[in-house]
Structure 1
Amino acid sequence: MWLAGVGLAAPWPAAAQALRPYAVTGDAILEPLTTARGDAGRGRALVVERSSTCILCHSGPFPEQKFQGDLAPDLTGSGSRASEGQIRLRLVDASRLNAATIMPSYYRIDGLSRVSTPWRGKPILSAEQIEDIVAYLVSLRE
């Protein structure tokens, strides 16, 4: 088990930027980062929003998005391939599973290099945004 707390600026108040503690068990973060369940609708909106960077590398069931990435796995059926906890860890800190990954650590601020000054000390996504994306990706079943 590992307790942790990703590294860029975010569009929420400074008080909300504090990382909430979480525990890594095996290849997953079993417990949500928030007390409220994530919202799959908000999660989908985050995934298809280019500024979140998801579809720069991933493709998926997003017919409204003309250009989708092909550097990372297709997100279609992600809820059939991985558990909620496994998806959560991949969003929080994919480098824990693959040190050579090109996927950003969306909820980690320590041990990062080459982070632009405005983003230092801040997670890319809030805990709520992570949970929204988890809720959406878990809902994608083949």
Structure 2
Amino acid sequence: MKRFILFAAAMGIGVTAATAEPVSPMQVVFTDGAVEESLTGVAGDPVAGRDVFANRKLGNCLACHMNEDWSEQSFHGEVGPPMDGVAERWSTAELRGIVANSKEMFPNTIMPSFYRNAGYTRTLKKFEGKTILSAQQVEDVVAYLQTLTYE
């Protein structure tokens, strides 16, 4: 698979999330809470990431974070920091680490680990071995967060 991706890139052929092998949740490498390498090898889509950010069955980020980009939505949370200007406060690697498993950077946070599938206590059977977000959804959310700058 990796040879195909390298060959495709060299030939200028687009590689989609469907052809890339994501890093498994338990093999993600954190350095001081940051994740330098993409989880998929495929660029994140900020439009898809925006949708995941507000989707109450996926990211549900608005439940805890205010975000002026979603001003049309009511009931933004105030538990987490505001997302306005987040791209200027954190690097791409730091944002990826925070979204994948925020506890690697902030050990006492209540933010869930969106790309972790083991090590929980009292997990419902239907959620055992599953992540909240896919690797590509993490990359998409990170791409969206990178668009949130102060204007």
Normalised TM-score (structure 1) = 0.83
In structure 1, the residue corresponding to 2:146 is in which secondary structure?
Answer: helix
Greater RCO, CA 8 A, separation 6+ = 1
In structure 1, the residue corresponding to 2:132 is in which secondary structure?
Answer: coil
Question: Gaps (5+ residues) in structure 2?
Answer: 1-20
Q: How does 1:41-120 map to 2 (within 5 A)?
A: 41-51=47-57, 52-61=59-68, 62-120=70-128
| Inter-partner Cα distance in structure 2 for 1:133 and 1:93 | 13
Note if contact 1:17-1:122 (Cα within 8 Å) is conserved in structure 2: no
Shift of 1:98: 2.2
Note if contact 2:103-2:109 (Cα within 8 Å) is conserved in structure 1: yes
Compare 98-107 and 120-129 and name the one that shifted more: 98-107
| Inter-partner Cα distance in structure 2 for 1:27 and 1:107 | 13
Compare 15-24 and 25-34 and name the one that shifted more: 15-24
More strand as a share of residues: 1
Note if contact 1:20-1:127 (Cα within 8 Å) is conserved in structure 2: no
Off by >3 Å, runs of 4+ in structure 1: 15-21
Note if contact 2:35-2:97 (Cα within 8 Å) is conserved in structure 1: yes
| Inter-partner Cα distance in structure 1 for 2:50 and 2:31 | 26
1:49-97 Cα deviation digits (max 9, x unpaired): 1222211111102112111100000111110000000011111111112
Is 1:124 aligned with 2:137? no
Matched residue, 1:137: 145
Matched residue, 2:29: 23
Does the C-alpha gap of structure 1 residues 18 and 86 become closer, same or farther in structure 2, counting only changes over 3 Å? Answer: closer
Q: Which amino acid aligns with 1:60?
A: N
Does the C-alpha gap of structure 1 residues 115 and 17 become closer, same or farther in structure 2, counting only changes over 3 Å? Answer: farther
For the pair shown, which has the larger CA radius of gyration, 1 or 2? 2
Normalised TM-score (structure 2) = 0.78
In structure 2, the residue corresponding to 1:50 is in which secondary structure?
Answer: coil
Task: Give the total of aligned pairs.
Answer: 128
Compare 57-66 and 78-87 and name the one that shifted more: 57-66
1:21-63 Cα deviation digits (max 9, x unpaired): 3321223101110121000000011111122221111110211
- Percent of aligned positions with the same letter in both sequences? 35
Question: Gaps (5+ residues) in structure 1?
Answer: 1-14
